Amino acid sequence: MIHSYKPVLAVILLLAMVAPAAAQGWLTRAAREFPMTDFSRTVIDLDEIMSGGPPRDGIPPIDQPAFRPIGPRIELGETEPVIGVIVEGEARAYPLQILIWHEIVNDTLAGVPIAVTFCPLCNTGIVFDRRVGERVLDFGTTGRLRRSDLVMYDRQTESWWQQFLGQAVIGELTGTVLKVIPARLESYAKFRARAPQGLVMVPNGRHFRSYGSNPYAGYDSSTRPFLYRGEMPAGIAPLARVVRVGARAWSLDLLRRSGRLEDGDLRLSWSAGQNSALDRPAIALGADVGNVVVEERVGDGWRDTAYSVDFAFAFKAFYPNAAIRLE
């Protein structure tokens, strides 16, 4: 949430130490920033909320994304990561080199209002359907974290949402869960191969950011996550990656060694050739963490299902009683 990881490490450690003492004050400040939010309606312990540094929309969401067709004008490395989404045959790629600076894109694809989200601190990329009943919601960043995960808000009711779960946790819509749309975290080359007529999000000229650079350089090789006070997972490094489908998770290292796994109604596969967005200062030079595809059995065939590639500590934080398959 706070950009430029190493230069602000000392500040963040200080914030983590003083956070419990400041818990009462944050609610007063939040109520000023979010006058519509009913903080008395919640399904969480409000003391778990922590400031990530920026204020409301200090990390600005993208509301009018710009796109270009695949071709020479797309300035992406072959192995740079994108979130690839296909709805009713319409395909778009959302590069992490842009999402890492904005975290939320409000878009409409094939007539479906979607929110493309990425929390760098949890490595969690999820695409949500923005419709709740008759409402279409628009999402922004609260500037707060819970369990190191992005806390979003919707502009229509100012309810607060946990990105990892897609659930409203504070405010009018508390308890509501957004529908997740299947998407792939994949390399640009993989997206181009499966959707050659697809569009790729490009900077829209409304914000100036150092696109292509990683403001969290070295984060995914850290020993501890940012602003996280919870229990760590057993048998796996806190910032090791896991593949998650709902409350089920598999170690990415296990999948990498196996190449392909079948587990009940799911089939998971791994192939090389995708940069980590959270490794080197330049995303295009990040370590190869590979591409994951997760499919579910439908009759005699298979189709894409929703998944995310998260850090192990985040899975433990939100599913404390669930096991991560390591072998």
What residue type is 283 in one-letter code? I
| Structural domain contains residue 90 | no
Residue 91: inside a domain, yes or no? no
H/E stretch holding 149 reads strand 149-154
Tell whether 167 is covered by a domain.
Answer: no
Whether 104 has a pLDDT exceeding 50, the answer reads yes
SS3 7: helix
Which pLDDT score is estimated for 24? 56
SS3 content of the chain, % helix, strand, coil (to 5): 20, 35, 45
**How many Å apart are CA 146 and CA 317, to the nearest integer?**
10
Q: What whole-number distance in Å separates Cα of residue 119 and Cα of residue 102?
A: 9
| Structural domain contains residue 147 | no
pLDDT of 22 over the 90 cut: no
pLDDT value at 131 more than 60: yes
Q: CA–CA separation, 17 vs 21, rounded Å?
A: 8
Residue 259 lies in a domain: yes
Can you tell me which residue has the tokens 């709902």? 246
* Predicted confidence (pLDDT) at residue 110 exceeds the cutoff of 60: yes
pLDDT at 207: 83
CA distance linking residue 121 with residue 91, whole number of Å: 27
Please check the confidence at residue 11 and state whether its pLDDT lies above 60. Answer: no
Q: Across residues 59-64, what is the average pLDDT?
A: 97
Please state whether the predicted TM-score (pTM) of the whole model is above 0.75: yes
Beta strands in 70-138 (DSSP E): 81-87, 90-95, 104-109, 112-119, 124-129, 131-132, 135-136
pLDDT of residue 8: 38
The whole-number pLDDT of residue 16 equals: 43
Average pLDDT over residues 158-177: 98
Contact 253, 317 (CB under 8 A): no
Residue-wise pLDDT tens digits, 274-323: 999 999 999 999 999 999 999 999 999 999 999 999 999 999 999 999 99
CA distance 294 to 244: 9
Is residue 282 in some structural domain? yes
Q: Both tokens of residue 174?
A: 């508390």
Q: How far is CA 295 from CA 87, 172, 241, 262, 298, in A?
A: 16, 35, 19, 10, 9
**Collapsed DSSP state (helix, strand, coil) of residue 238:** coil
Number of compact structural domains in the chain: 1
pLDDT value, residue 13: 41
Average pLDDT, the chain: 93
Tell whether 246 is covered by a domain: yes
Confidence check: pLDDT of 17 > 70: no
| Residue range(s) defining the domain that contains residue 257 | 219-325
- Please tell me the predicted confidence (pLDDT) of residue 26: 83
62 found inside a domain: no
